[in-house]
Amino acid sequence: MTRWWPAVVFGLCGCAAQDLAPHSLAPYYPTPDTVVLKMLQLGALKAGEKMFDLGSGDGRIVILAAQKFHAEAVGVELDNDLYRKSMERIRSLGLERSARIVHGDLLAQNYSSADLVTVYLLPDAINNQVEPLLDRQLKKGARVVAHDFEFRNWKPEKVENIADDGEGRSRTLYLYRK
């Protein structure tokens, strides 16, 4: 089984990227809150919808989706420490009924119930492995928002450029619809 370390993380702080863990395919990069919010808005997340964050890191997108959008939010995280920290935060905020993290490989999950999937994964390492899985599993009308890296074989419905993410960096978001 291929091991990877997810890169979909949404930071409240401007932390630097962490070193790659042994056998990982992607680093952990925190994403500013402004970008997290724009991802969920671009994906048109609605109350009661189910969303998945692939490589959820410390769980910040899952938490925001549950708190602000009242969605059923699920993250998938392989790293033990990030999984534990995100679950502790979910419990401390009392969000266990609407937010959770699956501790496991994102390529071994079922996303057929997803209304929205968010990803911030490296294109060659993960996006191109996730693409056929999502093609098979996502229901008609499901949306995918990718941060910075496009999916090779999909045509985005909308592309949103963020000139300044609040940390002096530009970002690009891609919206796809099944």
For residue 94, give the CATH number of its domain. Answer: 3.40.50.150
Structural domain that includes position 111: 33-177
Q: Tell me, yes or no, whether 67 lies in a domain.
A: yes
Does residue 8 form part of some domain?
Answer: no
Residue 164 domain-assigned? yes
Is 7 domain-assigned?
no
**What digits encode the pLDDT tens for the residues 41-81?**
999 999 999 999 999 999 999 999 999 999 999 999 999 99
Q: What is the pLDDT of residues 104-153, one digit of tens each?
A: 999 999 999 999 999 998 877 688 899 999 999 999 999 999 999 999 99
Per the structure block, which two tokens stand in for 127? 């996006």
Determine, yes or no, domain membership for 15.
Answer: no
Number of structural domains found in the chain: 1
Alpha-carbon 173 to chain mean position:
12
Helices and strands (H, E) in the chain, number of each type: 4, 7
- Has residue 72 been placed in a domain? yes
Record the pTM: 0.85
Instruction: Tell me how crowded residue 80 is: count the other CB atoms within 10 A of its CB.
Output: 10
